[in-house]
Amino acid sequence: MSALELRYRRLLACYPAGHRAEHGEEMLDVLLSAARPDQTRPSLADAADLVRGAVRIRLRRAAGDATGSPWPGALAVAGLVSMIMLLADGVRFAVNIPQTAMQVGLQMYDGATLWGLLPVLFGTAPFWLAWAGIAVMAWRGARRQAATTACTVTAAQVVLAVWAADFPEAPYAFVASSVAGVPLPLALLATASLVASPGPRHGARLLGRARVAGIAVMAGVLVAVSSQPLFTLLLQGDFDVLHLNYDRLYDFSGVWSDLQLGAALVIAVLVCAILSRSGQGRRACALLAMAGLPLLDRVSQLRVEGEFSDVQELSFLLAECAAGFALTMLCVRLVELPLKNRTPGRAGKA
């Protein structure tokens, strides 16, 4: 046995035994046939590809992909909904651009510099553009490239979240924290769906066109009730952010907060109604609750001044995500318990 073959076998040992028994020799033959005559070590690309493939297969098996578990389908559905929500948030950012540009002009007139304002007001643009590209790649079937890009973007997002939580007074920390709130669990779910489930396209097939369209419409409603143009339109009847009606601003902010909270609650109920008819859908609700509870908390706290205006701590966000998942899974278990208790009786009668 050559040194190269021995090293390849060590890498293949990362795969589950069943997979090695079925495909191991074939994979080894392909790797050795593509090697150079004097090669003694696997290339970095081959080693990374083998390890990535082993991790993906083990994650899928851990999720129960081969045992009929509803979790892979649930993760696919949750990843699809998360990606739709991320795209919707990117649309909200784009919708706000014209009025944000007006604010840039006003602040430059007051002496601010363009290069000082761009990171503050448009610093999250690369994040939304990246997720738009990931969604296009995933939908066109380039899942491997989409998963790699999503892992890179989400890893950078986690680093920014940790940095913003540890150094809240640092320059532009609040910009980093803006993608470390609700977008972070959404990005984690979408990334996990690309890596460890059949993917968002499979989630779309499970839901069907009508349900996907309904969820997209609800995401559009959330975009509308969180957009600056609608806020100014309802506040004063036009889109002029340079001459806001400050006499109505304070009272209307409470009404706007109630509108956002009401819309979020109604959409949460509708999403649960759409997904809760199957075991996969109920578990998808539990996964989506990891982002849903932080969203409801942020919306309900809009009227509180000071306490929630600073950079959110990452530990608090993670606690909210865990609480949302745990509470929803408790409800799922309570709903499914009678069904499980009836199953043995039916089997016995059969």
Cα 260 from Cα 222, distance rounded (Å)? 8
Q: pLDDT tens-digit profile of 50-87?
A: 888 888 777 766 554 444 578 888 999 999 999 999 99
Radius of gyration for the alpha carbons in the chain, expressed in angstroms and rounded: 24
Alpha-carbon span 254 to 326, nearest angstrom:
31
For residue 32, the one-letter residue type is L
**Which comes out higher in pLDDT, residue 193 or 164?**
193
**DSSP tag of 241:** S
Question: Tokens representing 181?
Answer: 């709130």
Please indicate whether residue 48 or residue 338 has the higher confidence score (pLDDT): 48
CA 346, CA 340: separation in Å to the nearest integer? 10
Question: What integer best gives the mean pLDDT of the chain?
Answer: 82
Taking phi over 0 as left and psi of -120 to 50 as alpha, with beta for the rest, 146 belongs to: alpha
> What is the mean pLDDT of the segment spanning 94-100?
87
**End-to-end alpha carbon distance in the chain:** 56
What is residue 69's three-state secondary structure?
coil
**What letter represents residue 21's amino acid?**
A
| Cα 348 from Cα 56, distance rounded (Å) | 39
Instruction: Identify the pLDDT of residue 347.
Output: 39
Give rounded-to-5 percent helix, strand, coil for the chain: 80, 0, 20
Q: How many CB atoms lie within 10 A of CB 137?
A: 19
Lowest mean pLDDT among 93-97, 206-210, 322-326, 345-349: 345-349
HSE, side-chain direction, 13 A CA sphere, residue 174: 7
Q: In terms of Cα–Cα distance, which of 196, 211, 206, 190 is closest to 134?
A: 190
Q: What is the pLDDT of residue 61?
A: 64
Place of tokens 């059949």: 198
CA distance 70 to 64: 8
Calculate helix-pair angle for 279-300, 246-275, nearest 10 degrees. Answer: 170
Q: Average of pLDDT values for 138-160?
A: 90
pTM metric for this prediction: 0.72
d(CA 176, CA 162): 9
The 10s digit of each residue's pLDDT in 189-235 is: 999 999 888 888 888 988 888 999 999 999 999 889 988 888 888 88
